[in-house]
């Protein structure tokens, strides 16, 4: 019986920079699913985004979090940092197929480090955007 040494991937600068793109993609997907239901807002958690990044990039499931503790911790911190940035900005602007989409962003909740954003679609002709929270 040998010992099993697992390699833990590291969070490179290129992966860190892709977190924003994945957040924007997640917002577009989530909001488009809500369109038919008449709802114009969604909630997105920093931990769920981190889990999605780790799974898409390395194929590591959230159930393997104990084995890859450092990786999950680093990605979660990067996601929380990005979420705080967008809360301070008060909006996220995304492009898809030549169309610009604007979303108001507010802090919905924070539970044991898991930052949950409220995302509200803002029409292009609407003067409303949530004011950044301090």
How far is 105 from 89, CA to CA, in rounded Å? 8
Give the start-to-end residue ranges of the domains of the chain. 13-122
- Residues 30-39 have a mean pLDDT of 72
**pLDDT mean over 71-81:** 96
Q: What's residue 36's pLDDT?
A: 64
CB-count burial class (<10 Å; 0-12, 13-18, 19+) for 78:
buried
Token pair, residue 118, equals 């409220």
Alpha-carbon distances, residue 28 vs 35, 91, 92, 94 (angstroms): 11, 13, 11, 8
Smallest Cα–Cα separation from 25: which of 97, 80, 81, 78? 97
pLDDT score of 127 more than 80: no
Q: Provide mean pLDDT across the span 69-77.
A: 95
- Which region holds residue 48: left if phi is over 0, alpha if psi is between -120 and 50, else beta? alpha
């Amino acid at each position: 019986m040998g010992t099993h040494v697992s390699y833990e991937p590291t969070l490179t600068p290129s992966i860190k920079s892709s977190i924003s793109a994945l957040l924007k993609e997640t917002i577009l997907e989530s909001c488009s699913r809500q369109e038919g239901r008449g709802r114009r807002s969604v909630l997105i958690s920093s931990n769920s985004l981190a889990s999605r990044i780790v799974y898409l990039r390395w194929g590591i499931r959230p159930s393997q979090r104990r084995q890859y503790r450092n990786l999950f911790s680093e990605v979660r911190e990067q996601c929380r940092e990005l979420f705080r940035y967008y809360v301070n900005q008060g909006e996220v602007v995304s492009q898809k197929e030549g169309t610009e989409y604007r979303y108001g962003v507010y802090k919905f909740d924070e539970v044991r480090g898991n930052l949950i954003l409220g995302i509200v679609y803002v029409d292009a002709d609407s003067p409303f955007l949530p004011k950044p929270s301090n």
